Every structure is written in C-alpha cells, then in structure tokens.
Amino acid sequence: MAGMVLIVGLPGAGKTSLARRLEEERKALRLTPDEWMDALFHTNEFEGRRWVLESELFWGVAARALELEANVILDYGCWSREERDLFRTRAQDLGASAEIIVLDLPFEVLWERLERRNANLRAGTFAINREELTEWSGRFELPTADELKNWDRHLVVTE
C-alpha cells in the first residue's frame, strides 16, 4: 500500500531536510511548496497562491501518485488541524496510509537555525525574521493526542 507522509512544523524545524531524506529512503515523490513558490513568484506567499499550490495542484499530483501506489512526502508545515485533517482524510480515502511527523522544536532552537539559514540562503528558501517567527509560533496549532490517534502512524520530534 502506498503511503503519504505529512511533515508538520514551523520554519527552521528541519522539515525539508527530513523530507529529502525520506524521499530517498522511501523512494517517494517529495512535494515542497517553498521551492515552487520561489521559482514561480520569488516569494513564499503571493495572493493566496501557496494554498492553491498545496491543496489543489500538488494534491492532484500526490493523489495520482498514491493511486499508482507510489509514496508521497508532503513538506507543507500545515499549522492548523483543519489543514492536517484535510490531507489525512484525502489520503485515507484513496486507500493510502497516512503518517504525520511533527517537528516541535523550542523557539530558540528554531531561531538559531533560521539565523544560520538567513546568512546563507539557498534557492527555494526565504529569509525569515524573528518577528515573523514569533507571529507564526502563535498561529501554530500543535497536534493533540486526540488528533494524532486518527493517523495510521505518527511521530513527534521535540529536539
């Protein structure tokens, strides 16, 4: 059975690094919106297009891959339960397994990583300042035990 892995966390948590590793280990299709947003719009958000990219365009590709029994890695972030539930149910409705990996690192660790990243930005990444990270941290809904039980597999990483 094909499987979908949704990687959840704030910027600097290591989502894309983990997604790249899992892509190789599981021979999976990796979908990383930041890389596409940079190529298309030279920004990480443009008039709501990131959500269109994730929920419509990428999901169409992911769904087809799952139907063909290929594994899929969604390197999305998905800060709200509503978003996570959407992708979990879509995958399960296709008969695929749904796994979530939550990267819940301390704020100061995230900020230290972002400072290093900001100093040497690679293609497909964006500078993020401390104020943005603070704002986004307040919007991130950490998955609860009740939510995690709906997933076929889950892992929460705190360090």
What is the count of structural domains for the chain? 1
> pLDDT by residue (tens digit) across 71-99?
999 998 899 999 999 999 999 999 999 99
Q: Are 123 and 28 in contact (CB under 8 A)?
A: no
> pLDDT by residue (tens digit) across 104-124?
999 999 999 999 999 988 776
AA identity, residue 8: V
> pLDDT by residue (tens digit) across 31-81?
988 787 767 766 666 556 767 777 788 899 999 999 999 999 999 889 999
Domain of 102, CATH number, reads 3.40.50.300
* Residue-number span of the structural domain to which 7 is assigned: 3-157
